[in-house]
Amino acid sequence: MAAKFTAMAALDCLKYCKENQAPKDINFWGSVYPTYFAIPHLKKTRGKVFVNSSSVAILHPPSFSFYTASKAALLSFYETMRLELAPEISITIATLGFTDSEIVRGKHLKDGVMQVDSEQASKFVLLPVISSSDCAKSIVSAICRKDRYVTEPKYLCLLHFAKNVCPQAFEWLHHTFTPEHCTGASQAKKD
């Protein structure tokens, strides 16, 4: 199931939390409802479910709070579904990083209008990007093998591990290299 919506702003910079319900509605419910209705057919055919979560569900970057929460909810939900539906249905969860796409090139919504800001995108894309075709090949291979997870680009596996071993290091990295996205850090410098 693949639906995607990204809201890029720190929580304290948003006018209204309610306006940012779209990530939850699209990312979470946009995957859950089709799965729910497909379960009877998938059980009969021993089908497979693909879940497009994100590495943000594990790495928690600043300025993506609603998007991160929606992808983390997706990850947790399908982890539970895997237990409930096995062995009839296999579930492969993707924890993808930066994949070459319009979003990575700066396409986003601002005040309800679609815009392209490549300079803004370059501030967020700090790590290498994988091509869409290489990512797709990896995903299809993982689904065919009935892998539990697929993570692309592969270097993210190391980052996921490092984040779990030393979360303070990730916080330090964000505050040091992307302070403009850590509003608490930028506020402390002003005081």
- Known catalytic residues? 67
DSSP string, the chain: --------S-GGG-S-GGGGGHHIIIIIIHHHHHHHHHHHHHHHHT-EEEEE--THHHH--TT-HHHHHHHHHHHHHHHHHHHHHTTTSEEEEEEE--BSSTTTTTEEEETTEEEE-HHHHHHH--S--B-HHHHHHHHHHHHHTT-SEEEESTHHHHHHHHHHH-HHHHHHHHHHH-GGG-HHHHHHHH-
